[in-house]
Amino acid sequence: MISSVLEQCPIGAAVECHLAAYNAAFYELGLSWHWDDETFHALQRMECERDRIKKYMETHQSHLLKAYDADFLIDAIQTTKARCYETMTNGGAKKASTVNWAEFQRAEVGV
């Protein structure tokens, strides 16, 4: 499966696909988060995907950890992100990685 994903989403675009999949997952889950390139690359210093998400929540969305279990949120994000990534890379749908998710978030709150 990994080789087919890489064939659909070349290495250069793979990073963009993963970033877009995270932002699509945040949007779908109703989280008003947006990871830009800088945030995404800074989080990549950690090897574990769960640790990256948890670190971001602790640093930028700590209020959510008062209402939700961190593992519950991480599981929801990872599951949704994986589905979004699969959709974006399946059948040549790589154009989804060019969606401006920050613009969607601003439109939602009327900014």
In a domain? residue 87:
yes
pLDDT tens digits, one per residue of 34-55: 999 999 999 999 999 999 999 9
Q: Could you tell me the residue range of the domain that residue 14 belongs to?
A: 2-104
In a domain? residue 109:
no
Terminal-to-terminal C-alpha distance of the chain: 40
In a domain? residue 35:
yes
Number of domains in the chain: 1
In a domain? residue 58:
yes
Which residues have C-beta within 8 Å of that of residue 43, sequence separation ≥ 6?
35, 52, 55, 56
Q: How many residues does the chain have?
A: 111
Which residues have C-beta within 8 Å of that of residue 58, sequence separation ≥ 6?
65
In a domain? residue 31:
yes
pLDDT tens digits, one per residue of 24-34: 999 999 998 99
The model's pTM = 0.74
